[in-house]
Homo-oligomer: A and B are copies of this chain.
Amino acid sequence: MIGGGGNAFIGPIHLKAALMEGEIELVCGCFSRTYDTSLATGRKWHLDESRIYADWQEMLRKEASLPDGERMDFVAIVTPNHMHYPQAALALELGFDVVVDKPMTWSLDEALRLQTLVQRTGRTLALTHVYAAYPALREMRSRIARGDLGTLRRVYVEYTQGWLSQRIELCGGNKAGWRTDPRTSGKGGCLGDIGVHAWHLSEYATGLKVTEVCAELSTFADGRPIDDDCAAFLHYEKGVKGILHATQIAVGEENDIRLRVFGEHGGLVWSQLEPNTLLLRHDDRPTEVLRIGNGYPWLAEETRARTRLPGGHPEGFIESFANIYRNFALTVRARMNGVEPDPLWLDFPTVDDGVRGMQFIETMVASANSDGKWTPWVYAPL
C-alpha cells in the first residue's frame, strides 16, 4: 500500500476491506513520505520493519526484486490525486497489478496514458468507485438491464456533504487540504472528489453513457481556489435525461447519496444512508421494498454475490469496499494461475471507468466555463 499513514481517512478503510475476506494480506507499505509516520503505521498493522518504506519508488523497485511468494502481488494506491499516475505507472511497469482510488489521475492526459499502459502490460487495475460496489447498485443494474423498468427516461443522482462549508483546509493537517488545491486534486474540487462518484453511479446503474452536459460549478466558501459544489443536466444515450448535483457545503449533511432511475413502467430509488434498501416503483401495483440479503431469491445472482449476510443484518461501506478488493484479488489470482476469472469476479471498475471519469471532469469544466452551454462529452485531453 502507498499512502494511508497517520490520521488518513481512506487508507485504513482500504486495508480493512482488503483483509476481511481472507483473500489478501498486507505484506509491505509506504504509508507516508515521513519515515516515522510510515514506520508507526506499518507497526500498527504488524508489518515486518524490513517491509516498511519511506519512499514509494524504493518500495516498488525493491519489492519487484524479491523472489516469487515473498514479493507483494499488487499495490493499493491511496495517495492524493496528483500522485496516482506516477505511482500506478511505475507499479504497472514493474509488473504489479494496481488498486487505485478515484479519481484515477490528476488529469485526463494521465488517465489516457495509464489506460495505454494497462493495455500494454496486461496487468489488472481496479478503481475504487466504492458506492457502485454496494449490492443494491448491482440489483439496480441487473433489473434495468433486463428491462424491468421499461425504456429508461429520467435519472436523478445527487451527492450531498457539508464538511467543507467552511475553509477548514486553512487549519492544515486535514484531508481537506489537498482536496481543495488544484495542484494536488486536479481540475475538480467537489467535482473530482464526489461529483465523479455520482456520475459513475448513474452510468453503472443504467448501463448508459453520458453524451453531453450542461454544467454549473460553484465556489461558496470565499477564496477557495476550486469548486465546492457542482451541478449538471445530463444527456445519456437513447434520449435518457439526468440531473446530477453534488455539494460539500450543505451544512450538517454527512454523505447523502441518492440515485433514482425512472423508466416507462417503473422506477428504482436508492439512498446510501440506508444502503440495504431499494424501492421498486410500479405503475400498476404498490411499491416493493427490495431488501438486500443473501437469502432472497428475488435478487439477482450478481447481487447476492456481493452480500455476506441475511436480510436485516446491515452491511455497510467497508463491505462495499471489500467487494471490490475480493473481486480484484480473485481475478488477479485467477490470471496468475492462467485461469479465466469467473464473470462474477470481474464486477469491479477498471482503467476504462477511470478514463471516463476524467473525461467527465473535463466535460463538466468545459461546460461550466462556457456559461452552462451544452457541451459534448470530451474524449480528447484538453
Please report A residues at the B interface, Cβ cutoff 8 Å. 9, 12-13, 15-17, 19-23, 26, 45-46, 149, 153-154, 156, 158, 161-163, 165-166, 214, 216, 218, 220, 229, 231, 233, 241, 243, 245, 247, 249-256, 260, 262-267, 272-275, 279-283, 285-291, 293, 296, 298, 308-319, 371-374
**Cα-based distance from A153 to B221 in the complex (angstroms):** 10
Report chain B residues within 8 Å CB of A285: 288, 298
**Cα-based distance from A3 to B264 in the complex (angstroms):** 33
A-B contact pairs, 21 of them (CB 8 A): A16-B21, A20-B318, A153-B249, A154-B220, A154-B250, A165-B265, A165-B283, A243-B243, A250-B262, A251-B262, A251-B267, A272-B312, A279-B289, A285-B298, A286-B288, A315-B316, A315-B317, A315-B318, A316-B319, A318-B318, A372-B372
- Cβ A252 vs Cβ B287 within 8 A: yes
**Cα-based distance from A290 to B264 in the complex (angstroms):** 21
**Cα-based distance from A91 to B368 in the complex (angstroms):** 49
User: In the complex, which residue of chain B has the Cβ closest to the Cβ of A281?
Assistant: B252
**Cα-based distance from A273 to B254 in the complex (angstroms):** 19
Report chain B residues within 8 Å CB of A308: 12-13, 16, 318
User: In the complex, which residue of chain B has the Cβ closest to the Cβ of A233?
Assistant: B216
**Cα-based distance from A372 to B371 in the complex (angstroms):** 10
Report chain B residues within 8 Å CB of A243: 231, 243, 245
- Cβ B251 vs Cβ A265 within 8 A: yes
- Cβ B19 vs Cβ A46 within 8 A: no
- Cβ A267 vs Cβ B309 within 8 A: no
User: In the complex, which residue of chain B has the Cβ closest to the Cβ of A371?
Assistant: B374
- Cβ A249 vs Cβ B154 within 8 A: yes
* 13 other A-B residue contacts (CB within 8 Å) besides A165-B262, A231-B233: A15-B22, A216-B233, A216-B241, A243-B245, A251-B266, A252-B266, A253-B267, A255-B311, A273-B312, A286-B289, A287-B291, A288-B289, A313-B317
Known contacts A22-B46, A255-B312, A316-B316; is A264 also within 8 Å of B165 by CB? yes
**Cα-based distance from A153 to B214 in the complex (angstroms):** 21
**Cα-based distance from A314 to B241 in the complex (angstroms):** 30
Of B22, B26, B153, B280, the residue contacting A220 (CB under 8 A) is B153
Report chain B residues within 8 Å CB of A166: 264, 283
**Cα-based distance from A165 to B241 in the complex (angstroms):** 15
**Cα-based distance from A165 to B281 in the complex (angstroms):** 12
Chain B: minimal CB distance from A131 (Å): 10
Report chain B residues within 8 Å CB of A165: 262, 264-265, 283
**Cα-based distance from A275 to B315 in the complex (angstroms):** 11
User: In the complex, which residue of chain B has the Cβ closest to the Cβ of A289?
Assistant: B287
Report chain B residues within 8 Å CB of A15: 22
- Cβ A314 vs Cβ B312 within 8 A: no
